Structure 1
């Protein structure tokens, strides 16, 4: 591999920002310091740029296998890298669902051949695959995913005995989607009676309500407390749920953790009038008070990491009426720029963004030698220009679905370089896919 020397960067890492150089050799950070003069195959003058650890996105849906008309691991990993995301963890509701060890390994094989980013895949739990779930290797797989809310195929886990078994026996982190199915069905019946087949899109947060979220999250937390389970609740979307989480102990000591997604921080209910089905997702984007509370929960460390729940659908699929339009938003390419906009507005410090998007996922999932800018660690790095505006359009959206709710929007910052496991994978709009990303490993 080529050696790389990055000069004069504003390095944001472990709570501080300092000017320094970084030397990369054999895929790893060989040296961090002032005035490094070592020979290197490539030298990058990073004067005026900020260097961050690569983003680790713990929740994406890349649709392969079985839904490749929407996306592939290759296409979405490429989009991720363009946005400074160097590692991802992908969900099991593909077709077929990832519910056996063989199907899980099939996805790893696809990624090894096609993913520009580093990768891991969740093992999916169902009501009847406990034996397969318990075979999952904690050192080579990021975690177990449970849908405690409706989902694709046979992935809704609503059998209490099954949940007890998984929570009591799992050796890996359990990541859960929490929405109470019966509450949602009851709400849907009310709105179907009122509107028939023409339910307004803005009713989505009333159908997939605060109560549905809290009831399910509360149940998951109580199960985890009962069994001392390592539980991670995905995409928290309500103010009420924040009371379920602690901020009085370090992240390393937490057994129950929580994630917030970029769209729940950015959008609120009034935006359905502008974006309609484009921002329809599960859990739903809700009223402004929730958005404000989630940002405060992030600042207060009740919410531990920032992710995307990247979930692409074709533009045509998103044109349907409420019940037909699928839920999910493509976001992985723009998540870092979204959060850097919060930095520009003075709502978040850039060090906090790095903590929640890079350091904390590495801690939470026990990822080996990633998530920080440290000598000896893998070189997963992103250079950003905080003062170079970037307008999103069809020509620079790399999702296979080729649309984004941010089309026409100008971000204040740009991603200039992304380095994945020491490989310069993206430079100012150009990709080098000659080297693929690495499989994430875990210290458990």
Structure 2
């Protein structure tokens, strides 16, 4: 692997900024110093650029196997790297669902051949695969995913005994999608009675309501406290849910953690007027007050990490009427640029972005030697230019689906270079795919 010398970068790491050189050798950060004169195979002049730890996205749906008309591990990992995401953790609601150890291994085999980014995959839980879940290797798999709300196939876990067993017996992190299915179905039935099949997208946050989210999240928290389980609640979408989480405990000591997603920090229900089904997600984008409450919880430490919930669909699928259009959208290429835009708006610091997208994800999941710009750690880093605006369009979207909910948005900052496990994988719009990403390992 080629050595890399990065000169005069403004490094953003562990709550501070400083200018330094970085030498990368054999995939690792060998040295950080004010001036390094050692020769390297590649040298990058980073004067005027900011160097952040590569983002670790703890929630993506790359659609392989079974849904590859929407996305593939290859295409979406490539888009992620172009967006400054160097590692991802992918969800089990593919086709077939990832409910056996063999199906889980099959995904790892594909990623080893085709993923430009580092990778891990969740083991999926259903109402009847507990023993298979308990065979998961806690040192080589990021976690167990539990859908406590609507999902595809056999992945809605709504059996109270199954949930009790999962929370009492699982030795590894349990990541949950929390929406109460009974409440959702009751709300849907009410609006169908009022409107028939003419329900429009603006009813989405009323159907997948604050009550549905809070009921499920609070139940998950209760189960985790009862059994001492390691719980991580994904994509918090309401201000009310943030009351469930603690910011007085150091992250490494927390048993219950939470995630916010970029779309819940950016959009509000007012955007349904212009974006329509393109911002139809589960859980739903809700009010401005919810958006602001989530951001406040991110900043004060009640919410620990920021992710994407990248979940692409084709434009033809999204163009269907509300009730038929699937939920989810592509985000990995645009997530860090969106956060950098929030920084430019004065809503969060670069240090907070590094903390919530890298440091805290590594700590939360106990990822081995990643998430920080430190000597001896894997060189997962992204160089950004805070003064290089660009506009998101379908022409420059790298997702297989070919669109983004951010289309038409001008971002003030650009991703210039992305280093993945010591390999310069992306540079000024060009990819080097000769070396693939690595499987994440966990210190548990």
More moved, 392-401 vs 296-305: 392-401
1:69 aligns with 2:100: no
Compute the RMSD of aligned alpha carbons: 0.5
Aligned to 1:253: 253
Q: Secondary structure at the match of 2:348?
A: coil
| Aligned match of 1:241 | 241
Q: Distance in 1 between matches of 2:193 and 2:248?
A: 46
Alpha-carbon separation, structure 1, partners of 2:197 and 2:395? 36
How do residues 380-395 of structure 1 correspond to structure 2 at under 5 angstroms? 380-395=380-395
Report what 1:266 is aligned to: 266
Shift of 1:408: 1.9
The 5 Å alignment of 1:47-62 reads: 47-62=47-62
- How far apart are 1:230 and its partner, in Å? 0.3
Query: What's the secondary structure of 1:316's corresponding residue?
Result: helix
In 1, the alpha carbon distance for the partners of 2:431 and 2:391 equals 19
4+ residue runs of structure 1 moved beyond 6 angstroms?
none
Matched, 1:128 2:143: no
Work out the CA distance in 2 between the residues paired with 1:429 and 1:316: 28
Query: Greater CA deviation, 72-81 or 400-409?
Result: 400-409
3-state SS, counterpart of residue 116 of structure 2:
coil
Superposition map of 1:242-391 within 5 A: 242-391=242-391
Instruction: Name the CA distance, whole Å, in 2 between partners of 1:156 and 1:310.
Output: 20
- Paired with 1:198 and 1:383, the residues of 2 have a C-alpha distance of 47
Structure 2, gaps ≥5 residues long: none
What does residue 97 of structure 1 align with? 97
State how many pairs are aligned: 444
Aligned to 2:409: 409
Shift of 1:195: 1.5
| Structure 2 counterpart of 1:194 | 194
Task: Name the SS for the 1:362 alignment partner.
Answer: helix
Mapped partners of 1:88, 1:57: distance in 2: 5
- Per-residue CA deviation, residues 324-363 of structure 1 (Å, 9 max, x unaligned), is 0000011111111111111101110110000000000000
* CA deviation vs aligned residue, 1:260-308 (integer Å, no higher than 9, x gap): 0000010000100000000000000001110010111111100000000
Deviations 1:394-415 (A, max 9, x none): 2211000000111121100000
Structure 2 counterparts to residues 14-33 of structure 1, below 5 A: 14-33=14-33
Q: Secondary structure at the match of 1:98?
A: coil
Provide Cα deviations, 1:91-120, integer angstroms capped at 9, x if missing partner.
000000000000000000000000000000
SS at match of 2:175: strand
Matches of 2:251 and 2:53, distance apart in 1: 18
User: What does residue 223 of structure 1 align with?
Assistant: 223
Q: What is residue 438 of structure 2 aligned with on the other side?
A: 438
Task: Kindly provide the CA deviation profile for residues 398-435 of structure 1, in whole angstroms up to 9, marking residues without a partner as x.
Answer: 00000011112110000000000000000111111111
Structure 1: gaps (5+ residues): none
State the SS of the aligned residue for 2:260. strand
What's the secondary structure of 1:77's corresponding residue?
Answer: helix
What CA distance in whole angstroms lies between the structure 1 residues aligned with 2:345 and 2:250? 28
Secondary structure of residue in 2 paired with 1:415: strand
Residue aligned with 1:367, SS: coil
Cα distance in structure 2, aligned partners of 1:186 and 1:282: 16
* Distance in 1 of aligned mates of 2:249 and 2:162: 30
Secondary structure in 1 aligned to 2:51?
strand
